Amino acid sequence: ISYCSADAAHDHVFAFIATNLNETMECHAFLCPKRKTAQTVTLTVAQAFNTAYKAWQRIHENSNKILDKNNDKKVEIKLDNKKIQADMDMRSSNEKNLLIDLSHEGKTSDQSW
Strand, coil or helix: what is 89? strand
- Torsion angle, alpha carbons of 55, 59, 64, 70, to 10: 160
Q: Can you give the residue ranges of every domain in the chain? A: 3-89
| 52: CB partners within 8 A, 6+ apart | none
pLDDT tier at 87, thresholds 50, 70, 90: very low
pLDDT confidence of residue 97: 45
pTM check: above 0.85? no
- Residue 87 burial (CB count, 10 A): 8
- Alpha helix stretches (DSSP H) within the chain: 35-71
Domain at 3-89: CATH architecture: Roll (2.30)
**Which tens digits make up the pLDDT trace of 19-64?**
888 989 999 999 999 999 999 998 898 888 888 888 988 888 876 6
Contact 16, 45 (CB under 8 A): yes
